[in-house]
Chain A
Amino acid sequence: MTATTEREAATGMTRQQLGPSLRGWLQDWLPRLVLAPSFLLVLVFVYGFNLWTVFLSFTNSRAFPTTNLIGFTNYVRLWNWTFETDPPSNWYTALVNMGLFGGLYIFFCLFLGLLLAILLDQKIRGEGILRPIYLYPLALSFIVTGTAWKLFLDPRIGLENALHDWGWISFHFDWVVDPKMMIYCVAIAGIWQSSGFVMAMFLAGLRGVDGEILKAAQIDGASAYQTYRRIVIPIIRPVFFSALIVLAHMAIKSYDLVLSVTGKNPGGAAELPSTFMYSYTFTRNQMAVGSASAVIMLMTIAAIMVPYIYSETREKSR
């Protein structure tokens, strides 16, 4: 706070030297003028566009945006589709898949991430070689990851074929071409891609734990398991929270991975809200329904991110 006032005093002095001229005014307003274009862009293209999408979700837009307001009709349709299970509506499939994919993705990324971080934190020789191996999938695009896993899991040329070749004839794994099981393959590829990142987050947390506490626990006779269970994990609880938020947010946004693992999502079997939005808006000419689903995605992410951003920025200023 004091720094700010002092700085203001400093700028004030510069202004006095220059006098109440245009240059002085410019000097005062220049910082804000520099920031203004970026802020305006965000205001229009993020907040304005979100509001525009909200508006579209209340219209009867089909192939092109219209301004005919029809109230909550599109949301009512989504609501009804939510319970249309026989045959399952696309929206119902999208929600069920979101739950399956999101749940598995978040759980296994957290589990593997923590496991790898704890294992790596045991004074491991060659950590510098192992760590980058767990992390490199993050550098790949989801399309590349999906392409690789689609081949790897393809029963004709991939894993099943290879194990048959080695003599394990009864091995059977064709999920990637089975519409009912496809979404699990998307989860496998997603976990492979993101768990290294969670490992890095946990490792940073573990390295931040005071070594003295652990020594004390060891002297008191606590086993390694007890030390982690009762001391280390409670200390790094904020990392769990951060990782959970990041993963949830990534799961909701997942789009390219589904298309590439499943090969353009045949028959909507691996539908997620993100692909639902895209196909209703751009191929089924139901832009208003697409907008409504986009608004639901936005609301879900906002419900996760806004409290998180708020708490993070508040902690920073404390």
Chain B
Amino acid sequence: MSAADLVTSAPGRRPSGHSLTTRIVIYGLLLLFAFVYLVPLAVMVLTSLKPLDEVTGGNMFALPRHLTLEPWLRAWGEARIGVSDTRGISGYFFNSVKMVVPAVLISTLLGALNGYVLTKWSFPGHKLVFGMMLFACFIPFQSVIIPMAVILGALGRFGMTLADFTGWSFGLGNATVNLVIVHVIYGLGFTTLFFRNYYAAFPTELIKAAMIDGASFFQIFRRILLPNSTPIFIVTVIYQFTNIWNDFLFGSTFAAGDTAPMTVALNNLVNTSTGVVEYNTNMAAAIIAAAPTLLVYVIAGRYFVRGLMAGAIKG
């Protein structure tokens, strides 16, 4: 039983000798905290459903007097994002989708293969290799961002040369491709960690039997490990999806203007200094930016927590 299962398992067998007063205090505190955690989200939703004069002239906790979806439509299709000509956040939302899908799939698949090698085909020095890859999870990205900018710049120039000769840049220099590369590389540590720990507990006898029967490296992976890896795939995909969707540092450094991902566009929208601050539109945009990861959390919260815990205490 992993640490996360302990969290999500049925509440415990703690001796409950509490008096009524104690129980009231306990429930009171728990509900108070639940309220505090929910209030910012509630205010966001309320604000996004009000006309601007109700936001600037009214109480933020008040229910909308004139319920409107206008801010949502403005945020999605009309709002001005920074100095860009593209209106609305819809384009940036799809930038994020285009970046997240390949980055998650590639990094997860590589992580699965790495975990498989590190546990079932271990070689002298496999611990050192794993330990070195693990450190990739924890470096501050500030310490790699300058070289990354230099390399991506060089790749972009190379892509332009290629385009001159072949008519196609092979995606080099494209901001989305750049972000996919970056997120795959810096996600490898986590995905490898998740699959290594999962496969370490997988019975080696099965692998050995298959080897004796003459099954190849990839046959064993495809026929024996993959069919038994659904839970860890869900955990890893959710973890990577959340991290990459929510990334801001890489997105703001390597993708400018119209090619920026959702988080960067949201930040630009909120901090636009020209004109009146449209709080309601900003909040609608923020909810749209949060929606995919929140949805994943609502649908698969259990796996979400498991991924977080595995990332933290390698249980």
- Residue numbers in B under 8 Å from A121 (CB-CB): 11-12, 14
Given the known A-B contacts A143-B248, A201-B313, are A49 and B143 also in contact in the complex, defined by CB atoms under 8 Å? Answer: yes
A-B contacts, CB under 8 A, total: 321
Chain A residue total in the interface (Cβ 8 A): 124
Contacts of A259 in B (CB 8 A): 248, 267
Chain A residue nearest in CB terms to B264: A143
Q: Among B134, B282, B305, which residue has its beta carbon within 8 angstroms of that of A200?
A: B305
Determine if A267 is an interface residue (Cβ-Cβ < 8 Å): no
* Contacting pair B266 A147 (CB below 8 A): yes
Q: Does A175 contact B (CB under 8 A)?
A: no
Secondary structure type dominating chain B contacts: helix
Contacts of B6 in A (CB 8 A): 203-204, 207-208
Q: Which residue of chain B has the shortest Cβ distance to A133 in the bound complex? A: B34
Contact A274 B140 (CB under 8 A): yes
Distance from B219 Cβ to chain A, minimum over Cβ atoms (Å) = 11
**Interfacial chain B residues near A30, Cβ < 8 Å:** 217
Q: Are B146 and A291 interface neighbours, CB within 8 A?
A: yes
Known: A7-B204, A10-B211. A42 touches B7 (CB 8 A): no
Nearest B residue to A241, CB-CB: B313
Report A-chain residues with C-beta under 8 Å of the C-beta of B253: 282
Interface bits A180-198 vs B (CB < 8 Å: 1, else 0): 0000000000001000110
Residue in chain A with minimal CB distance to B217: A30
- Per the CB 8 Å criterion, the residue count for chain B at the interface is 111
A141 and B263 within 8 A (CB): yes
Question: Which of B127, B150, B313 is the one whose CB lies under 8 Å from A65?
Answer: B150
CB of A21 to closest CB in B, whole Å = 14
Q: Mark A42-63, 1 if CB is under 8 A from B, else 0.
A: 1101111110110010000000
Q: Are A32 and B242 in contact (CB under 8 A)?
A: no
Contact between A148 and B41 (Cβ–Cβ < 8 Å)? Answer: yes
Residues of A within 8 A of B55 (CB): 157
Q: List, sorted by A's number, 20 A–B pairs whose CB atoms are closer than 8 Å.
A: A35-B113, A39-B132, A45-B148, A49-B144, A53-B146, A120-B11, A122-B18, A123-B14, A130-B30, A138-B304, A148-B44, A152-B40, A166-B59, A211-B12, A252-B140, A298-B142, A301-B138, A302-B135, A312-B314, A313-B131
Task: Knowing that A38-B110, A49-B147 touch, tell me 14 more A-B residue pairs with CB under 8 angstroms.
Answer: A14-B214, A35-B129, A46-B185, A65-B146, A112-B33, A123-B14, A134-B37, A135-B305, A148-B41, A148-B43, A151-B60, A192-B40, A253-B140, A255-B142
